[in-house]
Structure 1
Amino acid sequence: MTILIADDDADDRMFLEQAMRQNGYNQAIEFVEDGEQLMEYLRQQGRYNEQNAPWPNLLILDLNMPRKNGFQALSEIKDDPKLRRLPVIVMTTSSTDEDVIKTYNLGVNSFVTKPFNFNRLVEMIGALKAYWMDTVKLP
């Protein structure tokens, strides 16, 4: 199982990976830094091809990214018949009702707010892992 994380903040990427490892996730974690890279990865374009861009089983998506934000990328993913089955979890610092409603209207599968405490992040990732990797059947 491969998880793809789209987040422009290097510290957030590092903390997410550490939290996943602490929860026993030892499989592939791939990273992209903005919405443009995300779409290139998913479409296996440019530097991303089948050999260095394994198809993800789950996408963790930040909303606030440069070049193409998470809303724009999510819209493209859910509008593309080849990509729309990819489960997407939005994990962002935002907790506004407007952002929650907008992402669900675009077809997100889950919306969670990034915790500011590492221990809470580990707990959250544990809950996400239990549901998305141990409970549900992914396409």
Structure 2
Amino acid sequence: MKNARNADLNKKVSMIDILVVEDNEDDIRILEKVFENMKLLNIISVVRNGQEALDYIYHLGKYAFSGNPTPGLILLDIRMPIMDGFEVLAKLKSDPEHRKIPVIILTTSDREEDIAKSYENGACSFVTKPVSFFDFIKIMERFEIYWTLVSKIPEAK
């Protein structure tokens, strides 16, 4: 029944490319499993730090000739090596070409100052990763349905 429902949903889905910016391998595996289980057709790309995210988006470094699409949605951790998520968010939102890309902060932090700073810098949502594996899966399934089926976002350029 779920596969039939997902097949019907795929006809209505917004085909957006999702960029996951996450340094924790366990969290990456959970996200990949959720996206796989949902059987939606979105392209999911994963980078492991803030600098790599900017290289991916701006086609720099190892992504210079990759032809990767501009993401239509970004899931961004805030605590990462090399460059944190706040720096990435500030750079994207100060760039007229990329400021409309929805950025969802996905982090273990539940600190009020992190929440406030995320929204002040242009994040459209702040999600605290639950400790429980199963709770994380449930939240990400709901996220996937909302952002690919319900919400309307600007087309990537």
TM over 0.5: yes
1:39 to 39, 45, 54: 54
Partner of 1:6: 21
Instruction: State the 1:88 CA deviation.
Output: 0.4
Once the two structures are overlaid, the 10-residue window that deviates more, 60-69 or 127-136, is: 127-136
Change (3 A) 1:120 1:25: farther
The structure number with the bigger radius of gyration is 2
Q: Identity rate of aligned residues, in percent?
A: 35
Q: Helix, strand or coil for the counterpart of 1:86?
A: coil
Aligned length: 139
TM-score of the pair, normalised by structure 1:
0.93
Structure 1 runs, 4 residues or longer, greater than 3 Å off: 49-52
TM-score of the pair, normalised by structure 2:
0.83
CA contact (8 A) 2:110 2:128 kept: yes
Q: Helix, strand or coil for the counterpart of 2:19?
A: strand
Instruction: State the 1:16 CA deviation.
Output: 0.9
Unaligned runs of 5+ in 1: none
CA contact (8 A) 2:75 2:105 kept: yes
Once the two structures are overlaid, the 10-residue window that deviates more, 55-64 or 23-32, is: 23-32
CA contact (8 A) 1:20 1:122 kept: no
Q: Helix, strand or coil for the counterpart of 1:133?
A: helix
Partner of 2:34: 19
The structure with the greater share of residues assigned to helix is: 2
